[in-house]
Amino acid sequence: MKNRLLAIIFLFICTTLHAQTSDNLITVGKKYSIYSNTLKETRTYSVYLPPSYQSNPTKKYFVAYVLDGGRNKFLEVTGIAQSMNSTADLKMQIPELIIVSIENTDRTRDFTPTHSLNYLDAENIAAFNSSGGANAFMQFIGKELMPQIDSSYRTLSKNLIIGHSLGGLFAIHCLLESPGLFNYYILIDPSWFWDHNYIGKRTREVLKAKPDLKARVYIALANNFQEDNRHYKWGHEFYDLLKDSASSNINVKLRYFEDEKHLTVPVPATYYGLRYIFDGFELDINEVCKNPDLINKHDLEMSQKMGVTIKSDERFVNTLGYIALYDRNIPDIAIGIFEINAKNYPSSVNVWDSLADAYLVKGLKEKAKVCYEKILSLQPGNMDAKKKLEKIK
């Protein structure tokens, strides 16, 4: 599934997936609709739930809201997120995400903060006639869509928005006018030109009025010099305004993608944006195999950084334990890794069974027995644990 999704993303092959039986059906997510009293229309959105959502009923997740969220964009972002968090491939660059991809009806209306018919030096652009509805769209997300998502799924109180072009313009509008709506922003080549660089002027006003603005922001700029160098100039000015603001709670990074144009930059920008937003999340396998306590240190640092409790993924840590136990033949390290996992996930049968495996390799039968007894206290009918317990008695 992951390989096929990655092929779709990076080769931009967006074809309809067919299946003859349920065994070969590829399911990425599900489409929903909600009637908006604010917008007076029905809006459609797709939801991707990460692999552990069903198997780990107590886990809560960061939510990424994706603008311009039609089918192609939904596949693009979910594929990148899946690739960056894959236990099977030993990749844990970001946490698992719930992804909410919002489809468009009138993107010019919804994404623009002012009514303007201007584009750089041109006026009276007819395509912008409906512009100026960003406040209403922002209210729809905050008052209608987010409550629906939060009541339907296990979400954390931390939200990410990913916006490209006019979508990036809208995301900046949210940052400036409703800073509590999102915590993290991936701004992909936003439309700086809008209304004679309205964003630059408004940012200066807001930063003076709100010196305590709090956000983590990633800005991607494409190579648009053939059209006009003001895209690059205004993007850097916005970055400098945030970077030099009085608030110590604004973290911002800008990257210029010299080899990418406006329409090709979203894929690399989404990848590097997610890396920046969750910088430090990745565990170094080799270092953990030297010192398992790095898992605890990592979780503490990420919890402080993200403002929520972070525990390293159970399946990933379990895999690291078996790498240490069998691939690298360092059972003492494996025990340390499995013991941390058992402490973090004491209700998981799997972590106790893995810890017992490591104890037995070291000949610690009594400790292994305790693990199997723990499994039976969680699952009295677990025949595998009963057989293993009888074998070592």
Ramachandran bin of 359, using left for φ above 0, alpha for ψ from -120 to 50, beta for the remaining angles: alpha
Summarize pLDDT for 269-313 with one digit per residue, the tens.
999 999 999 999 999 999 999 999 999 999 999 999 999 999 999
- Output the pLDDT for position 135: 98
- Whether the pLDDT of residue 365 is over 70: the answer is yes
In CATH terms, 2-16+27-277 corresponds, of 3.40.50.2300, 3.40.50.1820, 3.40.50.1220, 3.20.20.70, to: 3.40.50.1820
Band of pLDDT at residue 248, cut at 50, 70 and 90: confident
Instruction: Name the one residue in this structure whose structure tokens are 């360092």.
Output: 330
- Output the pLDDT for position 6: 37
Could you write out the three-class secondary structure of 169-203?
HHHHHHHHHCCCCCCEEEEECCCCCHHHHHHHHHH
Tell me what percent of the residues of the chain surpass a pLDDT of 90: 87
The helix (H) or strand (E) run that includes residue 254 is: strand 250-257
Summarize pLDDT for 26-38 with one digit per residue, the tens.
788 999 999 999 9
- Of 127, 135, 85, 92, the closest CA to residue 106 belongs to 127
For 3-12, 149-158, 191-200, 316-325, which range has the lowest pLDDT when averaged over its residues?
A: 3-12
What are the C-alpha distances in Å from 376 to residues 197, 349, 369, 381, 389? 65, 9, 11, 7, 10
Band of pLDDT at residue 3, cut at 50, 70 and 90: very low
- Output the pLDDT for position 211: 84
Q: What is the mean pLDDT of residues 205-211?
A: 91
- Whether the pLDDT of residue 263 is over 50: the answer is yes
The helix (H) or strand (E) run that includes residue 111 is: helix 107-111
Task: Give per-residue burial for 12-33: e unless 16+ CB within 10 Å, then b.
Answer: eeeeeeeeeeeeeeeebbeeee
Q: What is the mean pLDDT of residues 324-348?
A: 97
- Whether the pLDDT of residue 77 is over 50: the answer is yes
Band of pLDDT at residue 79, cut at 50, 70 and 90: very high
**Contact assessment for residue 355 and residue 361, using Cβ atoms and an 8 Å cutoff:** no
**Contact assessment for residue 372 and residue 350, using Cβ atoms and an 8 Å cutoff:** no
Q: What is the mean pLDDT of residues 82-94?
A: 93
First CA to last CA distance, the chain: 43
Q: How many CA atoms lie within 13 A of 223 on its CB side?
A: 7
- Retrieve residue 94's tokens: 């970001």
Band of pLDDT at residue 4, cut at 50, 70 and 90: very low
Task: Give per-residue burial for 244-257: e unless 16+ CB within 10 Å, then b.
Answer: ebeeeebbbbbbeb
Summarize pLDDT for 117-150 with one digit per residue, the tens.
999 989 989 999 999 999 999 999 999 999 999 9
287-392 in CATH: which number?
A: 1.25.40.10
The helix (H) or strand (E) run that includes residue 102 is: strand 97-102
The helix (H) or strand (E) run that includes residue 222 is: strand 215-222
Mean pLDDT, the chain, integer? 92
- Output the pLDDT for position 23: 59
- Whether the pLDDT of residue 24 is over 70: the answer is yes
- Whether the pLDDT of residue 19 is over 80: the answer is no
What residues does each domain of the chain span? Answer: 2-16+27-277, 287-392
- Output the pLDDT for position 392: 86
- Whether the pLDDT of residue 95 is over 90: the answer is yes
- Output the pLDDT for position 377: 96
**Contact assessment for residue 325 and residue 361, using Cβ atoms and an 8 Å cutoff:** yes
